[in-house]
Amino acid sequence: MKHLYNMLFAVFFCLSAPYYFLKMLRRGQWRSGFSQRFGRYSSKVKQAITNRHVLWIHAVSVGEVNISTQLISEVERRLPNVKIVVSTTTSTGMGELQRKLPSHIQKIYYPIDRWTYVCRAIATMHPEAIVLVEAEIWPNFLWRARELEIPVFLVNARLSKRSYFGYRRFRFLFRGLFASLAGIGCQNEADAQRLQDLGCQPEAIRVVGNLKYDAAKLDERRLTDVPALMRQLGMPEGARLFVAGSTHAGEEEIIADMFLRLRQRFPDLYLVLVPRHFERGKEVGRILDAAGVKFAYRSEVSVNARYKPGEADCLLVNTTGELKYFYEHAAVIFVGKSLTTEGGQNPIEPGALAKPMVFGPNMQNFESIANAFVAAQGAIQVKDATELEQAIGNLLEDPERAAELGRNALGTVRQNLGAIERTVDMIVAQMHDTDMYVAPKRQAVSVAR
């Protein structure tokens, strides 16, 4: 099985490498840590983990990084002798790790799943346990961990129907890997049943809830002064922000046209448009130009760049890591990747801020979360662009209804807190006989108002 997988992987890697290298080039900063993707680490990294009890946490990209930062805080409290190494796959994920985590947390790139690279990486890190955030299953990595008897935990595990059927189709390859997992923290009973069907041991599965609720805590230091930024854009005091967050191709045209019509009804309305991938900034700028929206790039708005009222009605955010700061000052929010493409984006962050939000019909990656918000009347789900415009207009017209929607959203978040503590309980339960373990001290969990 290993030989067949590695032969096929080599072919796939050669065919797909140009695409991924071009993608890395477009995102920038690809040279930093590039050798780590092949399992080669600097003497500085090696020195930092020498003679330490290493716990390796893997967070694929930005969404998983946000979870891992809260998870690490609880792990350090419960396992004070541990040295945490966090890996990510993308340069944007690495940027978030560097920005959010202190210097004593070692940040690395996850190795490409080729046997030589994986063996080299695991031999260097020499972890006593590995934590994978969400369903990131790479065969060589897990095979090597199993050979070395390193316990592997899968946390915040979720399986969409598409992923589930994909794993089932190749269950001859993945069944043994799922069976080798030491612990699986699931979001809900449906995911637990799917994972058991794929081969996970029933006694290893725990339903702990969704870590994204805890990860939405926003009591961290503010890095962006949104009111000051919008004043520089020429936005008058008391004007309202319509924030379209994590948008994907096809949605920006809809948002631009809709904004121009809404502004005729609500002259105090300003648009903040945040594409999911910041490297699409120029492409989205051309879309706004064609629609007739007067905009400024976030990267060009500084203390030295001041706009007069009427010069710009829209801020196009072509930077990373700032979306939640704009959410905090929004009058109404559209959650992207839900209207013209499948998957959706995380609605918990605006919910934790008690903000009224609207999303489209395609929330497959956050199905249970979206359903919870809608059921509690903490969000509005629409079928198409026409309904989206109607919903946004209604919320702008009725601030009391918008405030009620936000309060219900915050209530939903509060009801689902505690998953991170339950997840760490699962991990430390297997660490009793190591120097990493210390008896837990319970702490209350809270969400910023």
**334-350 pLDDT per residue, tens:** 999 999 988 999 999 99
Is residue 447's pLDDT more than 70? no
Q: Which of 199, 184, 158, 191 is nearest to 422 (CA)?
A: 184
Cα–Cα dist 301/295, whole Å? 11
Is residue 46's pLDDT more than 80? yes
CB crowding 30-67: b at 16 or more within 10 Å, else e? eeebeebbebebeeebeebbeebbbbbbbbbbbbbbbb
Give the residue range(s) of CATH 3.40.50.11720 domains in the chain: 24-217+417-428
Q: Is the Cα torsion angle 386, 389, 392, 396 positive or negative in sign?
A: negative
Torsion angle of the four alpha carbons 349, 354, 358, 360, in this order, in degrees rounded to the nearest 10: 30
Q: Which of 318, 223, 237 is nearest to 270 (CA)?
A: 237
- Retrieve residue 388's tokens: 């989206």
CB atoms within 10 A of CB 10: 12
CATH number of 226-414: 3.40.50.2000
Give the residue range(s) of CATH 3.40.50.2000 domains in the chain: 226-414
Torsion angle of the four alpha carbons 231, 233, 237, 238, in this order, in degrees rounded to the nearest 10: -130
Q: Which of 228, 223, 238 is nearest to 98 (CA)?
A: 223
Question: Among residues of the chain, what percentage have pLDDT more than 70?
Answer: 93
* Angle separating helix axes 115-125 and 139-147, nearest 10 degrees: 50
Contact 272, 238 (CB under 8 A): no
Per-residue confidence (pLDDT) for residue 28, from 0 to 100: 65
- Retrieve residue 325's tokens: 């700061």
For residues 39-62, give the mean pLDDT: 93
pLDDT tens digits, one per residue of 187-225? 989 899 999 999 999 999 999 999 999 988 655 556 789
Per-residue confidence (pLDDT) for residue 443, from 0 to 100: 44
Q: How many alpha carbons lie under 13 Å from residue 326 in its C-beta half-sphere?
A: 28
Contact 305, 232 (CB under 8 A): yes
Per-residue confidence (pLDDT) for residue 432, from 0 to 100: 59
Q: What share of the chain is helix, strand, coil (3-state, %, to 5)?
A: 50, 15, 35
Mean pLDDT across the chain: 90
Per-residue confidence (pLDDT) for residue 58, from 0 to 100: 96
Q: Is the Cα torsion angle 171, 173, 178, 179 positive or negative in sign?
A: positive
Is residue 435's pLDDT more than 60? no
Q: Is the Cα torsion angle 411, 413, 416, 419 positive or negative in sign?
A: negative
Q: How confident is the model at residue 42 (pLDDT cuts 50, 70, 90)?
A: very high
For residues 167-185, give the mean pLDDT: 91
- Retrieve residue 14's tokens: 């050669």
pLDDT tens digits, one per residue of 137-146? 899 999 999 9
Is residue 237's pLDDT more than 50? yes
Q: In this predicted structure, which of 152-166, 263-277, 432-446 has the lowest mean pLDDT? A: 432-446
Q: How confident is the model at residue 73 (pLDDT cuts 50, 70, 90)?
A: very high
CATH number of 24-217+417-428: 3.40.50.11720
Contact 102, 27 (CB under 8 A): no
Q: How confident is the model at residue 321 (pLDDT cuts 50, 70, 90)?
A: confident
CA angle at residue 8 from 7 to 10, to 5 degrees?
A: 65
Q: How confident is the model at residue 318 (pLDDT cuts 50, 70, 90)?
A: very high
Cα–Cα dist 111/109, whole Å? 6
Q: How confident is the model at residue 279 (pLDDT cuts 50, 70, 90)?
A: confident
